[in-house]
Amino acid sequence: MRSDVLYPEITPHTTGYLSRADGHEIYWEEVGNPAGIPVVFLHGGPGAGLSQNSRRFFDPEKYRVILLDQRGAGKSRPFGSLENNTTDHLIGDIEALREERGIEKWVVFGGSWGSTLSLAYGQAHPERVLAFVLRGIFLGRETEIAWFMDGMGRFFPEAERKFLDVAGFDRNPGWQKMLDRYTEIFAGNDGEDAAIEAARVWSAYEATCCTLLPDEGLVEDFESDEVALALAKLEHHYFVHRCFFEPNQLLENVSRINHLPVVIVQGRYDVVCPPTSAFALKDAWPEANLVIVDDAGHAASEPGIVRELVRAMDQFDGKKFK
């Protein structure tokens, strides 16, 4: 058992594209034991895509892990597309991939936006879920979107300064006006170069706020074209549409999934997705195992977060967490 570090790097033994009727092609890959306990990995963002470390939270002898780049992200095609890109479309892709890979039920593992999508998928298809492992809870509520747009900067004002500058503001005008201004920029009203620069600044702002201690490598990754150009535009798209949810939808529908085992891993000093959302989920789901990591922020790469995510997966026996 490994409960404190990631498993060694692993190469997918199978990869492919899931073709959807609306023209999207969803990249997926599989690692681990083909006869193991099935897991689906749902990345954050929306739009962040997979990384090599996404494969490493799981014992490759115990688990059959399916990972996918959500619509518009990573290797999925068309890259950065907002067309036919809603939460319901993503849920449909996940379910279609489950059927395509011949899986009856699986563990649903997701962090940040991946936790949002995990809950939404589970509530749509509870009969297909064995358990949940969730990190950095984001419930898609308007208050959480508002916090991202004009709250994080209270802790990282120097990073917010760039976020405001690229939008042409001397000070934060409020979350809705910020969102509206980025709508104009991403629509190309200020030119293509301005849209690309704004996407990089948006992504770097989030990355800067992600960790308890500075992580320049993470910021550089988020600023890269492979991440920034999808992450910023897709996050903004989902924020504008309130993640395509009714108000408090995920909390109000917890009864659909609260018979299933769940571990929630939450950084105490998570500035991107503050712990209040994890506690709100725990209040709605008293049976949930909420693990607070007192020396971590938001990122899945932080040592305490890694430790607890790996520990949760190591302790799952196919039916429950030990």
Q: Tens digits of per-residue pLDDT, 210-243?
A: 999 999 999 998 988 888 889 999 999 999 999 9
Q: What is residue 2's predicted lDDT score, i.e. its pLDDT?
A: 44
The amino acid at residue 222 is F
Report d(CA 180, CA 171) in Å as an integer. 15
Same domain, 165 and 125: no
Helices (H), the chain: 87-100, 113-124, 142-150, 157-165, 175-186, 192-210, 216-223, 225-240, 249-252, 276-284, 303-315
How does residue 116 score in pLDDT terms, banded at 50, 70 and 90? very high
Same domain, 72 and 160: no
Same domain, 87 and 112: yes
Does 190 map to a domain? yes
State the residue for tokens 């922020």.
297
Does 2 map to a domain? no
Contact 234, 82 (CB under 8 A): yes
How does residue 31 score in pLDDT terms, banded at 50, 70 and 90? very high
Contact 87, 20 (CB under 8 A): no
Same domain, 124 and 254: yes
Q: What is residue 4's predicted lDDT score, i.e. its pLDDT?
A: 53
Same domain, 234 and 195: yes
Q: What is residue 56's predicted lDDT score, i.e. its pLDDT?
A: 97
Arithmetic mean of pLDDT, 95-111: 98
From the list 69, 93, 150, 270, the catalytic residue is: 270
Arithmetic mean of pLDDT, 166-184: 96
Beta strands 262-267 and 63-68 are unpaired
Report d(CA 38, CA 104) in Å as an integer. 9
Contact 124, 98 (CB under 8 A): no
Report d(CA 260, CA 47) in Å as an integer. 28
Instruction: Kindly report whether the peptide bond that precedes residue 78 is cis, defined as omega within 30 degrees of 0.
Output: yes
Full residue range of the structural domain in which residue 277 is found = 14-139+246-315
Active site residue 89: no
Does 79 map to a domain? yes
Q: What is residue 291's predicted lDDT score, i.e. its pLDDT?
A: 98
In the 8-state DSSP scheme, what is residue 6? P
Report d(CA 137, CA 290) in Å as an integer. 11
Same domain, 123 and 251: yes
Q: Which of 243, 260, 283 represents a domain boundary (last residue)?
A: 243
Same domain, 131 and 148: no
**Helix, strand, or coil here: 107?**
strand
How many percent of the chain have pLDDT more than 70? 99
Q: What is the pLDDT of residues 145-163, one digit of tens each?
A: 999 999 999 999 999 999 9
Same domain, 269 and 128: yes
How many percent of the chain have pLDDT more than 90? 96
Q: What is the pLDDT of residues 275-311, one digit of tens each?
A: 999 999 999 999 999 999 999 999 999 999 999 999 9
What is the residue-averaged pLDDT of the chain?
96
Arithmetic mean of pLDDT, 34-51: 97
Residue 163 sits at φ, ψ, to 5 deg, of: -60, -40
Same domain, 97 and 156: no
Q: What is the pLDDT of residues 124-146, one digit of tens each?
A: 999 999 999 999 999 999 999 99
Active site residue 180: no
Q: What is the largest CA-CA distance in the chain?
A: 57
Query: How many domains, the chain?
Result: 2
Contact 284, 254 (CB under 8 A): yes
Q: Which of 218, 243, 268 represents a domain boundary (last residue)?
A: 243
Q: What is residue 5's predicted lDDT score, i.e. its pLDDT?
A: 87
Report d(CA 118, CA 123) in Å as an integer. 9
From the list 54, 112, 118, 277, the catalytic residue is: 112
Q: What is the pLDDT of residues 54-99, one digit of tens each?
A: 999 999 999 999 999 999 999 999 999 999 999 999 999 999 999 9
Arithmetic mean of pLDDT, 96-120: 98
Q: What is the pLDDT of residues 244-262, one digit of tens each?
A: 999 999 999 999 999 999 9
Q: What is residue 228's predicted lDDT score, i.e. its pLDDT?
A: 87
Same domain, 133 and 250: yes
pLDDT at residue 266 tops 70:
yes
Report d(CA 259, CA 261) in Å as an integer. 7
Active site residue 13: no
Six-digit token pair at 113?
A: 């936006």
Same domain, 159 and 191: yes
How does residue 1 score in pLDDT terms, banded at 50, 70 and 90? very low
**Helix, strand, or coil here: 29?**
strand
